Structure 1
Amino acid sequence: MADLTLAPPRPRSARRPLVLGTLGHVVNDAYTAFLPALLPMFHLQLGLEETTLAGLVAIFALSTSLPGPFLGKLSDRFGEAHITAAGVLFSAVLLSLLAVVPSVPLLFALVAVAGLGSAAIHPAGSMLVRQGTSRPELAVALFAAGGMLGYAAGPTLLAAARDHAGRALPLVLALPGIVAAATIMALVPLESTSLPASTKAARFEWRLVFGPVGLVTLAAALAFLPATAVLNGLPLFLMERHGLPDTHPAIAGTLTTFSLAAAVGGIGVGLLAARLSRTWLLAAVLTGSVPAFLALLWLAPDATGYVIVLGAAGALSYAATPILVVAAQDRAPRSGATASGMVFGLGSALAGLMYFGIGALQAEVGVSLALSLAFVAPVLSAAISFAVLRRIPSFAAASVTETLCICAAASGAGIVTCAPSCTLSGNGVFRNA
């Protein structure tokens, strides 16, 4: 048996992956916001009609989501820091070229490939940020909130660069991503704090799809559906029910308020997850979101309580994400990033597919009733989540004993603890037993 090694605690090392992983997500999602911001230019300069533009958006959505589980496997094998940095660099270079793409075929090819950077960073980054922390839900919540903030800032950065960069536009746009990728690689230690290579799965574990991780992914898709419906269907509902023009400030304000509230809500749940039972917290978040979403169908945009209800719905919309992602990671000891990719990628893709059915129903039963069906989906998500999470043991917050205890891998013999009070979670996170 190999000798056990003891080392002094390094509190900064736990914060560094969190900061750099979140930074990568902020920068990456700022680039993903370039596509919707450039759609008017594609319409005017390349002559693309609405149907073609919708197809372009659909292709990008698929490329940023469906490959997630398989790209997560790359992270499991080669390290979260490497794949996070590569994903940011990939998105920065290719999505910056959208601003100068000369032809329609090249545009579609570029969009189909450029989404892979985003598909890679979600599973890798969500594993990177939880390294060395005893509060993984909070770490993943901060990671997710960073992406929302980056997405909100992307169009503004693009507009400023188009006004001032001139012929150097692609280089100017790509530069922040290049710097962010280099920073991640320079400052994150090369030694991964995840499981040793000998304990990782050599191939994609299909049992994840049909086991508890698959159920968590389905629960995530149902949890994501109301937010997908709000962002895509609520503007149409406001126009149909309240007679608002598509340029009315209430429509843009609704989407902005909802997105900002979603970032705050995820962080709040991440904080509570360390103090409350995550099973009951998740059930409360999911079921509590239903009345808030349904109230949006009854209140006019100029009503006093509209902004309050909208903020509550936004705060609860993606609040389940950190708990679901961490639950999937904990149920896949050898493939944490793959499990993350399933929740982020496959879950989002399934939510989009479900919304496609909701959109088809709108023509038959009306926008209001169709959206109502989407807004009650979290109830089913709560039922599935409760059945899965109650079988996952919960852990107490970090203690002094945990901080002082260091675990070492014994050659050929898996994980060995150096003290009875120290244990290693399935994804390499030290926690108090």
Structure 2
Amino acid sequence: MQTAVAAGIARPDPKPTLYRILFLVSLVHLFNDSIQAVFPAIYPILKDSMGLSYTKIGLLTFSLNFTASIMQPIVGAYTDSKPSPFLLPLGMVFTFAGMLTLAFAGNYTMMLLSVLLVGLGSAVFHPEGSRVSYMAAGSRRGLAQSIYQVGGNAGQALAPLMAIFIFYRLGLSGAAWFTVVAAAAIGVQMYIARWYRGYLAAHPPKPKTRGSRASGLQAERKKQITVALYLLVFLVFARSWYHAAISNYYSFYAIENFGISKETAQYFIFAFLAAGALGTLLGGPLADRFGRRNILAFSMLGSAPFAILLPFVGQVWAFVLLLLIGFIVLSSFSVSVVYAQELMPGKIGTVSGLIVGLAFGMGALGAVALGKLIDLTSISFTMIACGFLPIIGILTMLLPSDRKIREWNVEMGEE
């Protein structure tokens, strides 16, 4: 073993993959994101009961997701310098309060307060959840991040069904049931936080070692890494806008164009999100096998033909296409996080909060912009326009390859 390490051929992270922790943090991710995704699922109810415009619906999504977008990188940067295991259960306390507020919301202002609390809880949870999955990953980072992320995607997929069986029957008071889910998540988070604290005690951070390489080379590499991170952020931006278009507004499109009920329209969103959860689960292992950048490219360019075709097909084919699009476009959800973590391995919380938080934030901006576009034009026009967003995935060819990133990390003294 010593010879292998000396020769530089041992993996940088020889620890085993801790599936127990990964499955638990994935379960909490399911709880957290199912609660968060309930809001888009009940928009048809809110539109009718409160007389909301599409723009006001977009503002609800903006308030929910933009809170998470702003706070996630801040939380991640803070915990990079000062790890705080018990932030995990604290975040879920905010979510509990948000759902309790929703259960008694009688006006638009109370709705805004509810989504702000849930957004804050999500902001605290996500970067720390990504850090826990990174610590428990061992050498299988793609798989570990997929297990963690699939919990969130599965939770989003369940939200339309929850809307059908809870909110469409009980109204907003049905949100009280979700406080039970939040309370259970707090209990699981306490267990994970204790493991997290023990992990930190057993694995104190290693001091940075500075090599003898020229500072000019270090500066050049940092510049290249920064450019790559900005490009990745832009690609997440495009993917998030398309995701926002489908998850927030496709139910309205289906109601208007297929003449179906609000309840039936939710099954189309469920198909998209459920297939996306499967794509998220498989995307990480596929990236471990075929490369992070390759899966990033496939997730957008592979979905583009189906996305363009979607607004022009009938009800049955729309359901089939949503399954295909959801699987392909969300296969990169966890991969983009791992790619960013390997671009900047010393900033796990910051980049995890940036990529995941940005996904929510860009989706929030997209929801507002798309809602306004629908009000100004039509929902059919907006769906046709959004179908071209995945073509932006051609820019993944400008990202550095996985091999190049490993070389950069060696040069920067990160491996």
TM-score class normalised by the smaller sequence: 0.7 to 0.9
Out of 205, 216, 229, the residue aligned to residue 245 of structure 2 is: 229
Q: CA deviation at 1:133?
A: 2.4
Partner residue in 2 for 1:178:
186
Deviation at 1:215, TM superposition (A): 2.2
Q: Distance in 2 between matches of 1:356 and 1:57?
A: 7
Distance 1:233 1:75, change over 3 A: same
Per-residue CA deviations over 1:349-368 (Å, capped at 9, x if unaligned) read 22432454444444666544
1:258 aligns with 2:262: no
Q: Unmatched 5+ residue regions in structure 2? A: 6-13, 210-221
Which of 360, 376, 379 is residue 348 of structure 1 equivalent to? Answer: 360
Aligned mates of 1:100, 1:93 — CA distance in 2: 11
2:233 aligned residue: 217
**Shift of the alpha carbon at 1:156?**
3.8
Going from structure 1 to structure 2, the CA distance change for 1:283 and 1:103 (only over 3 Å counts) comes to closer
CA RMSD, Structure 1 to Structure 2 (Å): 4.1
CA distance in 1, matches of 2:149, 2:19: 16
**Partner AA of 2:147 in structure 1:** L
| Aligned match of 2:218 | none
- Give CA-to-partner distance per residue, 1:271-324, whole Å, 9 cap, x none: 21111132223212211100111221222013xx44432211110121112221
Amino acid of the structure 1 residue aligned with 2:399: V
| Cα shift readout 1:409-429 (whole Å, capped 9, x = no counterpart) | xxxxxx9xxxxxx99995xxx
Q: Take 2:372 and 2:43, find their aligned partners in 1: how far apart are those partners? A: 24
The 1:169–1:388 alpha-carbon spacing in structure 2 relative to 1, beyond 3 Å, is closer
**Shift in CA distance, 33/286, structure 1 to aligned 2, threshold 3 Å:** closer
Does 2:295 correspond to 1:281?
Answer: yes
> How do residues 238-249 of structure 1 correspond to structure 2 at under 5 angstroms?
238-240=254-256, 242-247=257-262, 249=264
Contact 2:69–2:361 (CA under 8 A) maintained in structure 1: yes
Question: Contact between 1:358 and 1:371, CA under 8 Å: does it hold in 2?
Answer: no
1:91 alignment partner in structure 2: 95
Q: CA separation in 2, counterparts of 1:316 and 1:351?
A: 18
SS of aligned partner of 1:60: helix
**Alpha-carbon distance between aligned partners in 2 of 1:365 and 1:54, rounded to the nearest angstrom:** 15
Q: How does 1:404-419 map to 2 (within 5 A)?
A: none
Match of 1:141 among 141, 146, 165: 146
Counterpart residue type for residue 205 of structure 2: P
Higher helix share: 2
Partner secondary structure for residue 399 of structure 2: helix
| Matches of 2:272 and 2:379, distance apart in 1 | 19
Shift of 1:219: 1.1
User: Secondary structure of the equivalent of 1:296?
Assistant: helix
Residue 18 (str. 1) matches residue 27 (str. 2): no
Correspondence list, 1:99-248, <5 A: 99-100=103-104, 108-131=112-135, 132-153=137-158, 156=162, 159=166, 172=180, 174-192=182-200, 196=205, 211-240=227-256, 242-247=257-262
Q: Structure 1 residues 199, 281: CA separation in 2 closer, same or farther (over 3 Å shift)? A: same
Name the counterpart of 1:74: 78
TM-score relative to the length of structure 2 = 0.76
After superposition, the Cα gap between the structure-2 partners of 1:100 and 1:330, relative to the gap in structure 1 and judged at 3 Å, is same
Distance in 2 (CA, whole Å) between partners of 1:49 and 1:306 is: 28
Instruction: Show structure 1 runs of 5+ residues with no match.
Output: 201-205, 396-414, 416-421, 427-432
What secondary structure is seen at the aligned counterpart in 1 of 2:259? coil
Paired residues in the alignment total 380
Look up the equivalent residue of 2:364 and give its one-letter code.
G
Deviation for aligned residue 1:134? 1.8
Residue equivalent to 1:412:
none
Q: Is the contact between residue 80 and residue 125 of structure 1 (CA under 8 Å) also seen in structure 2?
A: no
One-letter amino acid of the structure 2 residue matched with residue 135 of structure 1: R
Q: Distance in 2 between matches of 1:110 and 1:14?
A: 35
Matched, 1:50 2:52: yes
Match of 1:322 among 334, 351, 374: 334
> How far 1:371 sits from its partner (Å)?
2.6
The CA deviation at 1:220 is: 0.8
Do the aligned partners of residues 318 and 169 (structure 1) sit closer, same or farther apart at CA in structure 2, a change above 3 Å counting? closer
> Taking structure 1 as the reference length, what is the TM-score of the superposition?
0.73
Partners of 1:355 and 1:36 in 2: how far apart? 10
Structure 1 pair 199/109, CA: closer, same or farther in 2 (3 Å)? farther
Report if aligned partners of 1:16, 1:188 keep a CA contact under 8 Å in 2: no
Q: Give the whole-Å Cα distance in 2 for the aligned partners of 1:268 and 1:298.
A: 29
Contact 2:89 2:187 in 1 (8 A): no
CA–CA distance in 2 between the matches of 1:259 and 1:73? 30
CA offsets 1:112-131 (integer angstroms, 9 cap, x no match): 23311101222221221122
Query: Does the alignment pair 1:332 with 2:334?
Result: no
Q: State the alpha-carbon separation in 1 of the partners of residues 21 and 67 from structure 2.
A: 26
Q: Deviations over 1:144-176 (max 9, x none)?
A: 21012223446749949x89x99x978645421
Pairwise CA distance, 1:35: 4.2
How big is each residue's C-alpha offset from its partner over 1:80-132, in whole Å with a ceiling of 9 and x where there is no partner?
74433332343234433432457765554443233111012222212211224
